[in-house]
Chain A
Amino acid sequence: MSKILIIAEHLNGQLNPSTAKCVSCASKITGASIDIAVLAADPAAVAAQAAQIAGVARVRTLANAANAHALAVVYAPQVLAIAGEYTHVFGPSTTFGKDLMPRIAAKLGVSQVSDVMAVVDAHTFQRPIYAGNAIVTVKAPAGRTVVATVRTASFAAASGGGSAVIEAVAMDVPLPTHTRFVSLQQGGGDRPDLQTARVVVSGGRALGSAENFQLIYDFADKLKAGVGASRAAVDSGYAPNDLQVGQTGKIIAPELYIAIGISGAIQHLTGIKDAGTIVAINKDAEAPIFEVADIGLVADLTKAVPELMAAL
């Protein structure tokens, strides 16, 4: 039987929805028993949230002042101290999980399965390569721990209503001090989070300036949507880095994605493949974004977007 450990992602006492998506992925493995590990300075609040995820057997808390910030080098030895009890160790394919999980895999002497998008069986998974241009089926060796990151856009969050037991793990492993947290400059604000928003409005290079990018924020606010951006828009300084959607930014799956002045490069498209409906507004009828858009409007954004906003 598979025993799966999921490493919880959290910030400021809030469990990240990526954790419930990992549970959803893990529950695709037949007969799996699923535990969540919460590493924090004070894990109580996050553990209580994790315990409510349906399908979780136990929430194991690892309290330590050194866990105040999610440093991979500090988390890894603690996870490794309990990893031996499990057949699988999963984390989300967010910057948190991408940073941490390979450090665990290397110490266990196993390859990592990155960005699991489907479970075939306990050791066999599907994942994207070449910016999503190909999907490979990979088989991890039997009899060794499976370490994987879960592509969160591929799984709906497991539902709430669970009541897992919460157990504190006593731990006495030496933790390194060679890596120190200095600061976190959070973007965000009050808008819906890009990774979980039902609707996302995204702007590209065509916006032309940070001032003009305000149009995207205004439109998004009107729709109560999250805001995204292409790499060109981020590189040009129109939008902060945490808004980048794509191969090297965030992979998202909103119900509605509205791409404005974005050409639709493959590296961008790989971030929105799982969106429910894609709308594209672009003045170039030949733009590749129209090959994937469910609804396309060939128009100048400086006219179409204000018109849309006025009509809503």
Chain B
Amino acid sequence: MKILVGLKRVVDYTVRVQVKPDGSGVAIDGAKMSVNPFDEIALEEALRLREAGKASEVVVVSIGVAACMQQIDTGLAMGANRGILVKTEGAIQPLTAARVFAKLCAKEQPDLVILGKQAIDDDANQTAQMLAALLDQPQATFASKVEVDGNVARVTREVDAGLETLEVDLPAVLSVDLRLNTPRFIKLPDIMKAKSKPRETIELASLGIESGDHLATTQHAPPPKRQKGVIVKDVPELIAALKAKGLL
């Protein structure tokens, strides 16, 4: 079984992103970049499936500028077998990402595609569902538990009502939630070992993908600020403050 995993290059989750004063974008030049945290979890799950003997190959894919090769490097150091960078000029939107993955799936024929449920930059939460749609395959999103048994995956999903379990026939597309696993740490020897792993670069343009019909972003604004509150000194004062607001 082959598993394809997406690794998006995003601003690290510890960076506090701010809007540029002129509203033209967010000020992220020089910010620390990392693999999207959800994607690390996706890769960890794929590696565990391989280690459990359920999968034979894990391929990591990053779509974006040339520097995304760093995220491929991270994926290979974590343990993926090989990496594919689909090079673009700038940021792409989820529909294009899904179309890229669909093209790669036609070529690679993976049994499972595992993606993060959302990327912490655009917070779109779309790519896995769109890919599953384009491939006419099952989708199991927001996974917190994945069991593969032959040609079927049993996936527990974190939904608003609680935990939902679905059974999907493979091939299928999964998107993962945070509690699925805790990704492994990379050790120095892993990085050395990864140096010789195969890395392929494909130009987005060469895939012949439709990339129209996209959303135009016309403005960036900082979020509305909440007014500074008060600090009360003890519980009776807290109760008084709540009563004054008519909340008790």
Contact = CB atoms under 8 A, between A and B. Distances in A.
B108 interface: no
Contact of A136 (B17, B141, B172, B219): B219
A298 B231 contact: yes
B66 interface: no
A109 B213 contact: yes
Contacts of A140: 215
B219 A102 contact: no
Contact of A308 (B136, B144, B222, B238): B238
Interface stretch (B43-51, B68-76, B77-85, B117-125): B117-125
Interface in B197-229: 210, 212-224, 226-229
Contact of A234 (B179, B217, B228): B179
Interface of B is mostly: mixed
B218 A137 contact: yes
Interface string B117-141: 1101111111101111110111111
Given A185-B163, A297-B231, A72 B121 contact: no
B111 interface: no
Contact of B154 (A124, A182, A273): A182
B232 A256 contact: no
Interface residues of B, number: 85
B17 A98 contact: no
Given A130-B11, A131-B123, A296-B229, A103 B133 contact: yes
Contacts of A206: none
A130 B98 contact: no
Contacts of A297: 231-232, 234-235, 237-238
A115 B123 contact: yes
Interface string B155-192: 00111111111111100100001110000000000000
A295 B230 contact: yes
A182 B29 CA distance: 46
B56 interface: no
A128 interface: yes
A112 B126 contact: yes
B242 A295 contact: yes
A103 B241 CA distance: 47
Contacts of A278: 226, 229
B160 A273 contact: no
A181 B133 CA distance: 18
Given A187-B162, A292-B226, A312-B248, A135 B221 contact: yes
Interface in A220-256: 231, 234-235, 240-242, 247-248, 250, 255-256
Contact of B125 (A102, A182, A242, A250): A102
- Name the residue among A76, A94, A248, A293 with the largest chain B CB count within 10 angstroms: A248
A185 B162 contact: yes
Contacts of B124: 112, 114
Interface in B60-119: 93-95, 98, 117-118
B123 A295 contact: no
B137 A250 contact: no
Contact of B230 (A101, A294, A299): A294
Contacts of A234: 179
B30 interface: no
A181 B215 contact: no
A296 B230 contact: yes
Nearest to B154: A182
A132 B19 CA distance: 11
A11 B157 CA distance: 16
A89 B77 CA distance: 43
B239 A311 contact: yes
B126 A102 contact: yes
Contacts of B139: 72-73, 99, 103, 179
Contacts of B144: 241
B125 A178 contact: no
A184 B162 contact: yes
Contacts of B163: 184-185, 241-242
12 contacts: A110-B213, A111-B215, A128-B123, A135-B223, A195-B160, A241-B158, A242-B161, A277-B247, A279-B242, A295-B229, A297-B235, A299-B235
Given A240-B162, A279-B242, 12 more contacts: A96-B160, A98-B129, A103-B130, A105-B126, A114-B124, A130-B121, A134-B19, A137-B221, A179-B166, A241-B162, A292-B226, A304-B235
Interface of B: 11, 13, 16-19, 26, 93-95, 98, 117-118, 120-127, 129-134, 136-142, 144, 154, 157-169, 172, 177-179, 210, 212-224, 226-232, 234-239, 241-242, 245, 247-248
